[in-house]
Amino acid sequence: MNRLKIIAITHKSFNISDIGQFHIEAGHLENGMLGVVKTKMGIDELMFLSTCNRVEFLLSTARSINKDFLREFIQAIYPQLKNGSLEKAIDSVLVFEGQQALKHLFGVSSSIDSLVVGEREIITQVRNAYELCKKLNLTGDMIRITVQKAVECAKEVYTHTNIARHPVSVVSLAYRKLRDLNIKLDAKILIVGSGVTNASMAKYLKKHGFTNFVIFNRTLANAQKLANELNGKAFPLTELKQYRQGFDMIVTCTGAAEAIITKEIYTALIGNDKGKKVVIDLAIPNDLDAAILKTYDVHVIGVNTLQEIAKKNLAEREKELVLCEKIINDNMNEFEQELKERKVELAMSNVPKKVKEIKDTALNEVFAKEINKMDETSKETLEKVISYLEKKYISMPMKMAKEIMLNGKNDSEKADLSDRK
């Protein structure tokens, strides 16, 4: 458990607008950058999680996460950070180790550490982050069982509390802000990106009566899939700068490292239309170039503008947090036991192989001459006896080891203690 560490960049210690600089695009992850850092720094396992209000690294390592470690780690992953920015990042990241790391991960997965407490998207984001890092050979047994338990804990929280009752998410909060603007239901909406968040936002708008959608995405097939659900049109993202059919609202969330909607593209999109437009930008970092706001009249709904509503949402759900904490603590206690069992399983994993080797040596070498002199019936009986003993010698040490690990004493020790009384 002491090897489990988390380095967290969240809305609790950073401005949301600053978190975007720590996002890592999937392409860079797949290029093996984290694998290089993992090897160079002697980290056994590593997982990267990025959402609209956090970037976190889950590590399994014997190394202590002090300032020297943080400086080396952050510099290796974010070489663009220089001097003051680097030192500010080092001072602002949150570090959790051992039990606190486990509690933090369980809280994150259960959404009680989210900007929007009770939102369900986080459990999918945690799963997807693990699957990607597993695919990249960054994770191992420790992170696997930890994430598995975190997901189980989150499901229990969602099932046995009202924390997610009347579900609230970044998407629903954005819609609350949009509703105040009285946008007409036939407004032309450009959807830029068809990932989980943007697809959820688009479907939410359709659910509330909006009908006119045009989807742009890097992969046309994914854009077309969403367009079919929305009864809209689909185009590759490369055609966005040539689009001249006008719009009333843009909904964007691509996960790109730099602004997708540049001032040049926005100018082309808006043409001679002088009306005020709405942009829902749920990307971290923002997809909308800040320079656009200096020239054009745009009402922007972004993640950072949703914080006030998120605070009200937290106040409404605070009564449930006590019950959530209890479920998390119970799952932590369960996990400690499960981790002990897993350690025994790993330690004893070679027992079957060794017992089989001993059996084969006995039959084929040590007692080969004697066995060859036996009749077939005797040989069959001997084989049955040895197979029976083999099974027992494999199962009994496993069982006894688990009892010793979990209870601290085996039966003989207990009997010995009893005799001394």
List 47's β-bridge partners, or say none: 58
| pLDDT of the residue at 414 | 45
Please state the φ and ψ torsions of residue 398, each to the nearest 5 degrees: -60, -50
| pLDDT of the residue at 260 | 93
Indicate the SS3 state at residue 124.
Answer: helix
| 226 Cβ contact list (under 8 Å, min separation 6) | 191, 194, 199, 202, 215, 217, 232, 234
Pull the structure tokens for residue 115.
């900007």
Q: Do 192 and 250 form a contact (C-beta atoms < 8 A)?
A: yes
For each of the domains in the chain, give its residue range(s) and CATH number, in order of start.
4-165 (3.30.460.30), 170-309 (3.40.50.720), 343-383+400-420 (no CATH)
Indicate the SS3 state at residue 283.
Answer: coil
Residue ranges of alpha helices (H) inside 250-350 are: 263-270, 292-295, 307-347
Pull the structure tokens for residue 69.
């470690």
Strand ranges (E), 193-236: 212-217, 233-236
Q: Do 189 and 214 form a contact (C-beta atoms < 8 A)?
A: yes
| pLDDT of the residue at 404 | 62
| pLDDT of the residue at 401 | 65
193: left (phi over 0), alpha (psi -120 to 50) or beta: left
As a whole number of angstroms, the distance between CA 226 and CA 204 comes to 13
| pLDDT of the residue at 319 | 77
Q: Do 311 and 110 form a contact (C-beta atoms < 8 A)?
A: no
| pLDDT of the residue at 92 | 93
Pull the structure tokens for residue 299.
């009402």
Indicate the SS3 state at residue 274.
Answer: coil
pLDDT in tens, the chain (421 residues): 789 999 999 988 887 778 878 888 777 787 888 999 999 999 999 999 988 778 999 999 999 999 999 999 999 999 988 888 899 999 999 999 999 999 999 999 998 888 778 778 899 999 999 999 999 999 999 999 999 999 999 999 999 998 877 656 788 888 988 999 999 999 999 999 998 889 999 999 999 999 999 999 988 999 999 999 999 999 999 999 999 999 999 999 987 878 999 999 999 999 989 889 999 998 878 899 999 999 999 999 988 777 777 777 667 777 788 899 999 999 999 998 888 777 777 666 777 778 888 888 888 888 888 888 888 898 889 888 888 887 877 777 667 766 665 565 444 444 444 444 4
Judged on CB neighbours under 10 Å (0-12, 13-18, 19+), 38 is buried
As a whole number of angstroms, the distance between CA 216 and CA 226 comes to 10
As a whole number of angstroms, the distance between CA 166 and CA 204 comes to 14
